[in-house]
Structure 1
């Protein structure tokens, strides 16, 4: 087995933590968690989206998403309604208040991206994003080894 610190999942987790450490203070200043921000950002890319699809694109489990959506709806940052084609399915969209919050967070977020780009390099950052996308694409067709095993994290 490879050295723990050199395992791909740990390398990715460390890199994610290093990046998110830069963004968390700004999110906290705006009363947002990382997961809430992910949902709001995902909603800016669509007019409306089914709850199950939102869970998929935001990488959140259904029960967590339900709790987060309740909070965002109580704060009037999102709007929920039933799908026209199937009233059992929920649709979510960002509200005007949610868009204003995005606009308030955006300048700080962009300055953080600029600082990361300056430190790491625009070309390297672009290559990293391309490589991560390629890794995701190449693994999407791979059968998951031990998918039935509870311990198959790595």
Structure 2
């Protein structure tokens, strides 16, 4: 009988948890959930995104994204608006408070990346990121 392969999906989830161990304390300190940080991080790189695209990039299910955005909008972190050409489309951008949150967290998040890099080494971390990006491209 063949020995089963190591589970790629389980290993990826376990690796994600290990990596988040470096970042969760900073998120907790700022009162942010992982989902909220992903939204802030992605919107900091884009002027404005349609909700469906934001959900895809943040790996958040669309029904969950609605709740995340409602809470973030109430906290003054994001602004939602209907698209001018198509009122069915909703666009999201960072509010000034959301941008300020990103700016204030950038230094601590970079320090977390540095700690992770010290554990793995720069070359291994770059190799890991490269392989993960290749894996992401396979699904497309």
TM range (shorter): over 0.9
The match for 2:112 is: 112
Gaps of 5+ in 1: 142-154
Report the TM-score when normalising by structure 2. Answer: 0.94
Alignment of 1:33-72 (within 5 A): 33-72=33-72
**TM-score, normalised to structure 1's length?**
0.86
Counterpart pick for 1:2 among 1, 4, 22: 4
1:88 aligns with 2:88: yes
Identify the structure with bigger relative contact order (alpha carbons < 8 Å, sequence gap 6+): 2
State the superposition RMSD in angstroms: 1.1
- Counterpart CA distance in 1 for 2:108 and 2:130 is 24
How many Å apart are 1:128 and its aligned residue? 0.7
Whole-angstrom CA distance in 1 between matches of 2:49 and 2:85: 13
**How far did 1:48 drift?**
0.5
Q: After the TM superposition, which parts of structure 1 deviate over 3 Å for at least 4 consecutive aligned residues?
A: none
Paired residue total: 138
Residue 148 of structure 1 aligns with which residue? none
| Residue equivalent to 2:26 | 26
Q: What's the offset of the Cα at 1:88?
A: 1.2
CA distance in 2, matches of 1:52, 1:73: 17
Supply the distance in 2 between the matched residues of 1:119 and 1:85 (Cα, whole angstroms). 50
1:79 matches 2:79: yes
For residues 93-150 of structure 1, what are the alpha-carbon distances to aligned partners after superposition, in whole Å with 9 as ceiling and x for unaligned? 0011101111111111000100111110111110111111112222x25xxxxxxxxx
Partner of 2:132 in structure 1?
132
